[in-house]
Structure 1
Amino acid sequence: MPNAFADIAFTPRVRAEQQRFGSADAYARVLSPDRDDGAELGPREAAFLSARDGVYQATVSETGWPYVQFRGGMPGFLKVIDARTIGYADYAGNRQYISVGNLRLDDRVSLIAVDYARRERLKLWGRARITEDPDIVGLLNGDDGPRAERGIVIRLAAFDWNCPRHIPVRRTEGERDDEIARLAERIADLEAQLAGRPAMRRQARP
Structure 2
Amino acid sequence: MAHRFSELTFTPAVESMQQHFGSFEKMQQMRGRMPDFDRLRERECAFIEQRDSFYMATVSENDWPYIQHRGGPLGFLQVINDRCLAFANYRGNSQYQTLGNSTYNNKVALFLVDYANKRRLKILGRMRIHFIDDLSDRLMPVMDHCSETERVESIIEIELEAFDWNCPQHLTPRFTEAQLLERGVINQGDLL
SS in 2 for 1:47: helix
Output the CA distance in 2 between the equivalents of 1:37 and 1:104.
28
- The answer to whether structure 1 residue 13 and structure 2 residue 13 are counterparts is yes
Structure 2 match to 1:187:
none
Output the CA distance in 1 between the equivalents of 2:183 and 2:36.
36
Opposite residue 103 of structure 2, the aligned amino acid is: R
How far is 1:29 from its partner?
Answer: 2.4
Structure 2 match to 1:142:
144
How far is 1:119 from its partner?
Answer: 0.5
Output the CA distance in 1 between the equivalents of 2:115 and 2:35.
30
Structure 1 match to 2:27:
27
Sequence identity of aligned pairs in percent? 41
- The answer to whether structure 1 residue 107 and structure 2 residue 102 are counterparts is no
Uncovered stretches (5+) of structure 2, i.e. residues with no partner: 188-192
Output the CA distance in 2 between the equivalents of 1:138 and 1:96.
25
Output the CA distance in 2 between the equivalents of 1:162 and 1:67.
21
Opposite residue 4 of structure 1, the aligned amino acid is: R
Uncovered stretches (5+) of structure 1, i.e. residues with no partner: 185-206
SS in 1 for 2:19: helix
Opposite residue 88 of structure 1, the aligned amino acid is: F
Output the CA distance in 1 between the equivalents of 2:180 and 2:34.
40
How far is 1:31 from its partner?
Answer: 4.0
Of 137, 159, 164, which residue of structure 1 is paired with 2:163? 159
SS in 2 for 1:58: strand
Output the CA distance in 2 between the equivalents of 1:112 and 1:73.
15
The size of the alignment, in residue pairs, is: 182
Opposite residue 53 of structure 1, the aligned amino acid is: D
Opposite residue 153 of structure 2, the aligned amino acid is: E
**CA-atom RMSD in angstroms:** 1.9
CA offset digits 1:138-159 (Å, max 9, x no partner): 4212155212110011110000
How far is 1:106 from its partner?
Answer: 1.0
Structure with the higher strand share, 1 or 2: 2
Residues 143 and 86 of structure 1, relative CA distance in 2, 3 Å threshold: closer
Contact 1:6 1:30 in 2 (8 A): no
CA offset digits 1:38-61 (Å, max 9, x no partner): 111111100000110011000110
Opposite residue 62 of structure 1, the aligned amino acid is: E
SS in 1 for 2:183: helix
Structure 1 match to 2:184:
180
Residues 175 and 36 of structure 1, relative CA distance in 2, 3 Å threshold: closer
Output the CA distance in 2 between the equivalents of 1:80 and 1:100.
20
Q: Report 1:1-206 matches (<5 A).
A: 1-32=1-32, 37-132=36-131, 133-135=134-136, 138-142=140-144, 144-147=146-149, 148-180=152-184
Output the CA distance in 2 between the equivalents of 1:139 and 1:71.
19
CA offset digits 1:172-195 (Å, max 9, x no partner): 1111111116x99xxxxxxxxxxx
Output the CA distance in 2 between the equivalents of 1:146 and 1:56.
21
SS in 2 for 1:99: helix
Output the CA distance in 2 between the equivalents of 1:55 and 1:35.
24
Contact 2:76 2:146 in 1 (8 A): no
